[in-house]
Structure 1
Amino acid sequence: MGGLKVEILERRRNPLLSREEVRARLIFDGGTPSRVEVREALARVLGRDVGVVFVRRILTEYGKTEARVLAMVYDRREEALKIEPEHIIRRNEPPPTESGEG
């Protein structure tokens, strides 16, 4: 992906769920970046392992090259797997690679 800039708008600690709720703004070139790309960029900016970052929502307005993101950053991956809905966990995993076709 070309340029992807992340600007953190809000970080709110939720000690009850052992997580930080992060709202951010993305500025990008071309189409909206994939959830996996956004997850990796957020992890890099926050200095956390990508395995504890879960993107809940990416909102892009038609024709704009910026988006608003809501993500949950957990203290431990085990906590995330207990708390996050299954469909959110699946959406945040990289797509399986096609192997053995030829």
Structure 2
Amino acid sequence: MSRYKIIYKVTWPNGKIYIGSDLTDSTSYFGSPNPARLEADFPTRESRRLMSVTREILWESADADDAEVRARERDLILSHRASDPAIGYNLVPRPRPASLD
């Protein structure tokens, strides 16, 4: 049985997102969102007492190589603007500047 490589989106209670990849398709892996951004958005004990997050698989492949997974992850982070602090918890890649067209 081959393991799928996946790219997932985690949505936090405030609607912000984190996009990551998992090369092992683990059910328990939820990535490494930026802890400083998370703590700033949930500063009180009460805001941290009960949290539900959702993990959605955005893309999966049984035969992609690791480089393809990383490239697709980068593209999805950019297209979802997950590294924009107003939208998500990814640190990289940095959001593309707005077009001046």
Q: Tell me if both proteins adopt one fold, taking TM over 0.5 as the criterion.
A: no
More helix by share: 1
Range class of TM-score, shorter chain: under 0.3
TM-score (norm 1): 0.28
TM-score (norm 2): 0.28
More strand by share: 1
User: Looking at both structures, which has the greater relative contact order when contacts are Cα pairs under 8 Å and sequence separation is at least 6?
Assistant: 2
